Structure 1
Amino acid sequence: MIIKRLTIKNFGKIHNKTLELSPGINVLYGENESGKTTIHTFIKSMFYGITRQRGKAAKNDAYTTYEPWENPGEYGGILWFECGGKNYRLTRNFYKNAPFHELLCESSGALVNAEKGAMEAVLGGVSEAVYDNTVSVGQLKSVTGQDLVRELQNYMASYQGTGDSSIDLGRAAQMLKMSRKGFLTQVDKRKKDILKEKEKVAANMEYLRQELNELEERLDSVAAKERNLHIGEENGGELLEQRIQKASRKRVYAWCLMAVFPVLGVLGAAFAPNGIVLTISLAAGILLGLICLGKSLTLGRELNKRIRMKERWLSRQEKLQWNRDGIEASSKEKEMAYCNLEEEYRECDAQLYLPAAEDVEIQALNMALETIERLSGSINHQVGGRLRERTSQILSEITGGKYTEVLMDENFKMSVDTGERIVALERLSRGTLEQIYFALRMAAGELLCGRESFPVILDDVFGMYDEERLCAVLKWLHKEQKQIIISTCHKREMELLERENIPYQKLLLS
């Protein structure tokens, strides 16, 4: 890719400025605060747009930082570039109330919306993170960030399978972990709900067990009272009935005797030989009749008493039977409820220990994550050498062979080989560290931007370089035959380029 021309209508402090860029090295020279970083940000924003933050974060985001104070409706510009053998014109207006994003292929005449995926296709799928951490090196950003580590790991995991970095296994793993977290939350909530329901069922079972024990005690009490209604070995009701029958027969005998004795007295008097016998017979008959009458009345009272006793006995028996029936019915109902609760309790246990749909999903997600980790680790071992090899080659060239190899572990912790010993990064000078990270960025850019060679944009990144280091880097950049945009507030880059007879284009910012 080659950026041919850019026109900034209104972006930050720059207004209505056009810059013509050459295919080779371009030096953008200007004093501090002259707008070099603004141009750097403008190029990135034209390729990838500007994402507006929300809330408090919006006060310091890129949109707010570079939003012009005057005429904000013209917030944007035009970028002409060549990519894939075709010429394009990219026009953007970032103004929030009237955004405009147009991509015109001047070679074919095709006109599309730059926000509908067209730019992604033109840029070969190179993400903003890759761009920002490889070919675009800003002030105080010469150390690779976490985005670069993730993109490199993703590249290593996908390069062998697809030949590019279109498959983002890092993102896939992250999405799987998020899904697993959601299922784990559901499982945890489900288990808590089941345990809560189990405790509730257990409490209801204990309450029913207490009620059943109370009903059993009441049933025992009714049984004891029923036993008390029996006299000896015989049924109390039958015995009372026998006594009533006996009392009734005695009363009948008494009534009969009461009627017979007066008749016998009269008959005795009728046949009496004299008056004394007559008197005695009548008196005896009347006296015996009265005695029988008294006995009959006594027996009547006893009979009524026996009848009332039986009625009370029958009433007590009926009440006890009613109580027994009620207790047994209530006990049967509660036993059925207890059995149902036991079944619910067993179901709760089964739900706790038997795998549910969420558990199956978690198991599947774990298997998928393990597969991704194995695949990533295997391909990292296979492809990681390409990154180390290219980084080592670049570092050896820009250090004059002083450092021959860069060593990296799986966490991208690096050391260097001088040919005689291994040196940890912590023991190297800041200038050498700048060279190592520069080499890593350039190597990663070649791997991650494999479809299209992007312009390398360096924004005041050579501050820690001495003259020898800077000269070596400039020679390497010229040898690679890429478009290079160097922003600087120093003249030594241009002086070294002229001394080494390296062609470049000078662009002045005032």
Structure 2
Amino acid sequence: MIIRELILKNFGRFRNRSIRLEEGINIIYGENESGKSTLHAFIQGMLFGLRKMRGRAARTDAYTRYTPWDNPSWYEGSLRFSCGGKEFRLERDFRRGEEGAKLVCESDGELLSVKDGDLEMLLGGISEAVYENTVSIGQMKSRTGDALLLELRNYLSSYQESGDGKLNLDRALLLLKEKKKEWQSRMQIREQQQEAEEKKIKFEIAYLERETEELQQKLLEEQKREKAGEEELRREEQRQEELRREQQRREESRRKELHQENMPGTGGTLNWKKVISALLVGDVIVWGILFFTAGWKAACISAVCILIAEFLFMAYTSTALKKAGKKEETKHAGQSMPDNTSGSLPKRKITGDSIRLLTAQILEKRTRLSNLQEELSELQMTGIADRPEMEEIRSLELAAETIQSLSVSAQESVGEALKNRISDIFCTMTGGKYKKVSIDEELKIDLFTEERHVPLFMASQGTIEQVYLALRIAVGDIFCCEETMPLLLDEVFAMYDEERMKETLGWLYKEKEQVIIFTCNRRETEVLKRAGIPFHIVYLHL
């Protein structure tokens, strides 16, 4: 990555100021309070943003410290840089945080997203903590802080033989621990849900059992009612049969009586012999009287008329009596006919429908009850060890164990490589005086010449500064292996003698694509000129 231009639209003391930078060594020269540290902070703020703190911390955070002197509501800047053979422009409105960041590829016009991680990808994925403790060195900060110690320890612990040092042991283990807690929480929720489900199913089973028992009781009552109805119907049929027989006996007796009394029955007639005998006796008497009084002609005529009248009378009487007999039979038949519409059969039919309905309901309840009991049994048989959450927890525990076991061998190999890199850098900076640098996991450093061992605390201040600079550069090379970052040095050569400054600047010119040196004196430029090392200088004025 090469920074091409800094555009401070309104940042700290700068307003509408543009500063161009080149590859190789750049010297930003200015007196105290001319804005060197502001430029240094601007580059970091553009790359990683300025996080606004809360409470008391907001009084001294970088966001507040570099708030524009004029018009604080306008807090913006731009940074142009090249990366991967393309040119990019990064713009930020610091008041809006990540929402106010805009990243454009000027080579092809593509609009990228800072929020989605496109800028982080261009920076090789380094964190702000790594940036502050490796490639960006502020005033009097050559010594590494606790943040670098933690990052380096994590790196050494999680580095794999593939060379990918992005795994962070503490962060990975913390992530695994959080994931484990999450799955444990899920398992607890599942257990609570299972308990609630079991409770619900047991309640439904108890409710169905009560309903089934009630339906069975109703069914028994209906069956008893149906049996009683059948018995009553049978007795009713017997009674009706007896009534029919009694009616038949009465009809038979009635016919006999009617026959005896010459009433219509089933084809009966009057006692016509007696009637005719009586009429003949009467006719003879009437004819005899008329014969002796009126003569035989009148008597014969009267006899004929009397006979015709008697014949008509007998015919009419016979017809009327037959009709009266039929009416009487109909009346007696209606009175004696059994009532088959009493409601016994419909009642029996209703009772049968009720029994069928109750039987169907009981069968349905029993089926549902069986399904619930089977569901409850399956639910209770599900053990904790068989749950998917438990499998995830076991997998996370295994992953944590694997990371910890693999980190041991990886730490040894990478730690050795880091020590060799620091030794090479420091040996060059000191002109070969020191041959080896030893560093342990707590960043305790020892120096070795050809003749003796020198603990770091016994070395001169300039030597100590050089060792920490070599350490930062070596660690930066490891963390920034995907994308080389510009090296920012803010007043780091104050304790160097000219010879070591020359060796160090010469090594930086050969090894680094871009170095930005912030300084308030002219020693660096004079050494560079005498050594014939090209450089680009920017002057800041009060």
2:46 is the counterpart of 1:14: no
| Structure 1 Cα separation of the partners of residues 170 and 155 of structure 2 | 9
In the TM superposition, 1:362-377 aligns within 5 A as: 368-377=399-408
Amino acid at match of 2:136: S
2:539 is the counterpart of 1:507: yes
Amino acid at match of 1:74: W
2:91 is the counterpart of 1:91: yes
1:96 CA drift (Å): 4.2
2:453 is the counterpart of 1:422: yes
Q: For each residue in 1:360-409, what CA deviation from the matched residue of structure 2 results, as whole angstroms up to 9, or x when unmatched?
A: 99987665544323222210101111111111000000001111111112
> What is the total number of aligned residue pairs between the two structures?
343
In the TM superposition, 1:37-436 aligns within 5 A as: 37-96=37-96, 100-176=100-176, 368-436=399-467
Amino acid at match of 1:402: K
Amino acid at match of 1:416: L
Q: For each residue in 1:30-60, what CA deviation from the matched residue of structure 2 results, as whole angstroms up to 9, or x when unmatched?
A: 0111110100010011111111112221121
Q: Larger radius of gyration, structure 1 or 2?
A: 2
Q: CA RMSD in A?
A: 2.9
| Structure 2 Cα separation of the partners of residues 494 and 464 of structure 1 | 16
Give secondary structure in 2 for the equivalent of 1:7: strand
1:14 CA drift (Å): 1.4
Q: For each residue in 1:230-266, what CA deviation from the matched residue of structure 2 results, as whole angstroms up to 9, or x when unmatched?
A: xxxxxxxxxxxxxxxxxxxxxxxxxxxxxxxxxxxxx
Give secondary structure in 1 for the equivalent of 2:28: strand
Q: Which residue of structure 2 lines up, in the alignment, with residue 325 of structure 1?
A: none
TM-score by length of 1: 0.62
Report the CA distance shift for 1:97/1:142 in structure 2 as closer, same or farther (over 3 A). closer
| Structure 2 Cα separation of the partners of residues 81 and 40 of structure 1 | 15
2:6 is the counterpart of 1:3: no
Report the CA distance shift for 1:406/1:116 in structure 2 as closer, same or farther (over 3 A). same
Report the CA distance shift for 1:452/1:97 in structure 2 as closer, same or farther (over 3 A). closer
| Structure 2 Cα separation of the partners of residues 97 and 132 of structure 1 | 20
| Structure 2 Cα separation of the partners of residues 479 and 98 of structure 1 | 36
| Structure 1 Cα separation of the partners of residues 97 and 507 of structure 2 | 45
Report the CA distance shift for 1:152/1:98 in structure 2 as closer, same or farther (over 3 A). closer
| Structure 1 Cα separation of the partners of residues 146 and 393 of structure 2 | 28
Report the CA distance shift for 1:359/1:108 in structure 2 as closer, same or farther (over 3 A). closer
| Structure 2 Cα separation of the partners of residues 109 and 95 of structure 1 | 26
| Structure 2 Cα separation of the partners of residues 31 and 508 of structure 1 | 8
Amino acid at match of 2:416: G
Of 473, 493, 513, the match for 1:442: 473
Give secondary structure in 1 for the equivalent of 2:499: helix
Contact 1:73 1:98 in 2 (8 A): no
Give secondary structure in 1 for the equivalent of 2:95: coil
1:154 CA drift (Å): 3.4
Contact 1:164 1:450 in 2 (8 A): no
1:468 CA drift (Å): 2.0
Contact 1:10 1:76 in 2 (8 A): yes
Give secondary structure in 2 for the equivalent of 1:80: strand
| Structure 1 Cα separation of the partners of residues 52 and 62 of structure 2 | 7
Contact 1:142 1:434 in 2 (8 A): yes
Amino acid at match of 1:433: I
Amino acid at match of 1:114: V
Report the CA distance shift for 1:367/1:423 in structure 2 as closer, same or farther (over 3 A). farther
2:23 is the counterpart of 1:23: yes
Contact 2:153 2:441 in 1 (8 A): no
Report the CA distance shift for 1:170/1:428 in structure 2 as closer, same or farther (over 3 A). same
Q: Which moved more, 1:140-149 or 1:390-399?
A: 140-149
2:479 is the counterpart of 1:466: no
Amino acid at match of 1:467: E
| Structure 2 Cα separation of the partners of residues 358 and 427 of structure 1 | 56
Q: For each residue in 1:301-330, what CA deviation from the matched residue of structure 2 results, as whole angstroms up to 9, or x when unmatched?
A: xxxxxxxxxxxxxxxxxxxxxxxxxxxxxx
Give secondary structure in 2 for the equivalent of 1:372: helix
1:480 CA drift (Å): 1.4
TM-score by length of 2: 0.59
| Structure 2 Cα separation of the partners of residues 26 and 384 of structure 1 | 32
1:449 CA drift (Å): 0.4
Give secondary structure in 2 for the equivalent of 1:462: coil
Amino acid at match of 2:472: R
Q: Which residue of structure 1 lines up, in the alignment, with residue 279 of structure 2?
A: none
Amino acid at match of 2:503: A
Identity of aligned residues (%): 49
| Structure 2 Cα separation of the partners of residues 369 and 436 of structure 1 | 35
| Structure 1 Cα separation of the partners of residues 34 and 11 of structure 2 | 13
| Structure 1 Cα separation of the partners of residues 147 and 442 of structure 2 | 13
| Structure 2 Cα separation of the partners of residues 86 and 462 of structure 1 | 33
Unaligned 5+ segments in structure 2 are 186-387
| Structure 1 Cα separation of the partners of residues 53 and 144 of structure 2 | 24
Contact 1:22 1:505 in 2 (8 A): no
Q: Which residue of structure 1 lines up, in the alignment, with residue 520 of structure 2?
A: 489
Q: Which residue of structure 2 lines up, in the alignment, with residue 348 of structure 1?
A: none
| Structure 1 Cα separation of the partners of residues 520 and 109 of structure 2 | 40
Give secondary structure in 1 for the equivalent of 2:524: helix
Amino acid at match of 1:117: G
Q: Which moved more, 1:35-44 or 1:412-421?
A: 412-421
Of 483, 488, 507, the match for 1:457: 488
| Structure 2 Cα separation of the partners of residues 487 and 447 of structure 1 | 24
| Structure 2 Cα separation of the partners of residues 64 and 91 of structure 1 | 19
1:431 CA drift (Å): 1.0
Give secondary structure in 2 for the equivalent of 1:5: strand
Q: For each residue in 1:160-195, what CA deviation from the matched residue of structure 2 results, as whole angstroms up to 9, or x when unmatched?
A: 35433332223112334567899999xxxxxxxxxx
1:90 CA drift (Å): 0.5
2:509 is the counterpart of 1:478: yes
Contact 1:72 1:95 in 2 (8 A): no
Give secondary structure in 2 for the equivalent of 1:382: helix
